Amino acid sequence: WNIALRPSISGAGIVETGQLALDGFAWLPRDSTRYFADPFPFEFEGRRVLFCEEFPYATGKGIISVADIAADHSCGPMRPVLECDCHLSYPDVFHHDGQIWMIPETTGARTLELYRADPFPDRWTLHAILAEDVYFADATFFTHGGLCWIAASTVEHGTSDRDGLSLFHA
């Protein structure tokens, strides 16, 4: 796995052409001790950052890291911002009701956890455990029709987390 950034393009993209041109991408540096996955670029008050899963091979467990995004779309050094007892990935970061929130994937703990930036982007405080004894992969928050929604891959007995998508609203 690895992550690359590039500026937005105009005209036909991958959906229209069925091809992904790799020119113009700024790749995160690779090393043999870790990989990066699940990128979430985010902008707040003019500051652009990239959240992602960082997986150090030495620990065998993902953490959430962040790097500043430069004007040329390259990233500064990654720095850890959230570590737990379980593997973390897919840092869904979003702005809602004047706060910045994150729902990282915590399937190893069988929970759905909500964190609040305190302060953004380097410190995250557990705000609530939204659900327990669940397996929700890649939970994604969005609003629609005046409601708050979470879409997540879910697992039924004998299936994988690629077989089911569930929607929850409040």
Q: What is the pLDDT of residue 84?
A: 95
Q: Are strands 26-27 and 34-44 parallel, antiparallel or unpaired?
A: unpaired
pTM exceeds cut of 0.85: yes
Q: What is the pLDDT of residue 107?
A: 93
Q: What is the pLDDT of residue 143?
A: 97
Task: Identify the CA nearest to 85 among candidates 56, 112, 106.
Answer: 106
Q: Which residues of 76-91 are buried (b: 16+ CB within 10 A; e: fewer)?
A: eebeebbebebbbbbb
Report pLDDT digits (tens) over 124-167: 999 999 999 998 999 999 999 999 999 999 887 677 767 788 99
Q: What is the pLDDT of residue 145?
A: 96
* 62 against 135, higher pLDDT: 62
